[in-house]
Structure 1
Amino acid sequence: MPMSPRDYTWLFTPGSTFRYESGNTGVIHVADGGALDLPTGRVVACDPFVYLGSGDVEPFTVTVAPGRYRVEAAVATLARPDEPPAARPHRRVAAARLVIRDEPAVTWELALLPGQDPAELGDDEFFGYGVDAGTGCFYDAAAEEGFPEAQEDEGPLWDAFENSDWSEGPHLVRSPATGHTLAAFTSGWGDGSYPTWTGRSAEGEVTCFLTDFFVAPGPDEDTGGPV
Structure 2
Amino acid sequence: MAWVGDARLAAGPEATWYLETAFTPGAHLGTVYDDPTTPVVVTGVEEVTSMRVPSGRLVVDAPWDDDDAWRYERGLLTRPPRELAVCIPPGVYRVEIAWTAGPYEFFGERFDGVECAATRLCIGDGPVVGWEMGLGVDEDIDRLQPGEEPRFGADANVGCFADAGAWTTLSAPFRTYVDGSPVPRDTEQLPDGCERVRDESQRADLVTFTAESGGVVWLGRTKTGDVAAIVVTSGMAGAKA
Offset at residue 61 of structure 1 (A): 1.2
Change (3 A) 1:104 1:217: farther
Aligned residue for 2:189, secondary structure, equals helix
- Alignment partners' CA distance in 2, 1:127 and 1:149: 27
CA RMSD of aligned residues (A): 3.0
Aligned residue for 1:156, secondary structure, equals coil
Offset at residue 177 of structure 1 (A): 7.2
Change (3 A) 1:117 1:77: same
Does structure 2 conserve the Cα–Cα contact (< 8 Å) formed by 1:35 and 1:69?
yes
Q: 2:23 aligns with which of 12, 18, 24?
A: 12
Offset at residue 81 of structure 1 (A): 7.5
Aligned residue for 1:149, secondary structure, equals helix
Offset at residue 183 of structure 1 (A): 1.7
Regions of 4+ moved over 6 Å: 81-85
Stretches of structure 2 that go unaligned for 5 or more consecutive residues are: 1-7, 73-77, 177-181
Q: Which has the higher strand share?
A: 2
| % identity of equivalent residues | 25
Does structure 1 conserve the Cα–Cα contact (< 8 Å) formed by 2:128 and 2:228?
yes
Does structure 2 conserve the Cα–Cα contact (< 8 Å) formed by 1:73 and 1:95?
yes
Deviation digits for residues 36-73 of structure 1 (CA, Å, limit 9, x no counterpart): 10010101111113269845214211101111001111
Deviation digits for residues 162-216 of structure 1 (CA, Å, limit 9, x no counterpart): xx6xx4x5x35134775642221112xx22x421011110111110111111345
How many residues end up aligned between the 2 structures? 208
- Alignment partners' CA distance in 2, 1:19 and 1:65: 38
The answer to whether residue 46 in structure 2 is matched with residue 46 in structure 1 is no
**What is the aligned partner in structure 2 of residue 205 from structure 1?**
226
Larger Rg: 2
Q: 1:140 aligns with which of 163, 172, 189?
A: 163
Deviation digits for residues 58-99 of structure 1 (CA, Å, limit 9, x no counterpart): 42111011110011111222212898864xx43221211111
Aligned residue for 1:49, secondary structure, equals coil
Q: 2:86 aligns with which of 38, 50, 62?
A: 62
Change (3 A) 1:43 1:197: same
Amino acid at match of 2:41: V
Aligned residue for 1:145, secondary structure, equals helix
- Alignment partners' CA distance in 2, 1:79 and 1:213: 20
Deviation digits for residues 127-160 of structure 1 (CA, Å, limit 9, x no counterpart): 1101111111111102311234332332234x73
Amino acid at match of 2:59: V
Deviation digits for residues 9-30 of structure 1 (CA, Å, limit 9, x no counterpart): 2111111222135114322121
Amino acid at match of 1:11: A
Stretches of structure 1 that go unaligned for 5 or more consecutive residues are: 223-227
TM-score, length of structure 2 as denominator length: 0.73
- Alignment partners' CA distance in 2, 1:118 and 1:20: 35
Q: Which has the higher helix share?
A: 2
Does structure 2 conserve the Cα–Cα contact (< 8 Å) formed by 1:36 and 1:68?
yes
- Alignment partners' CA distance in 2, 1:103 and 1:11: 18
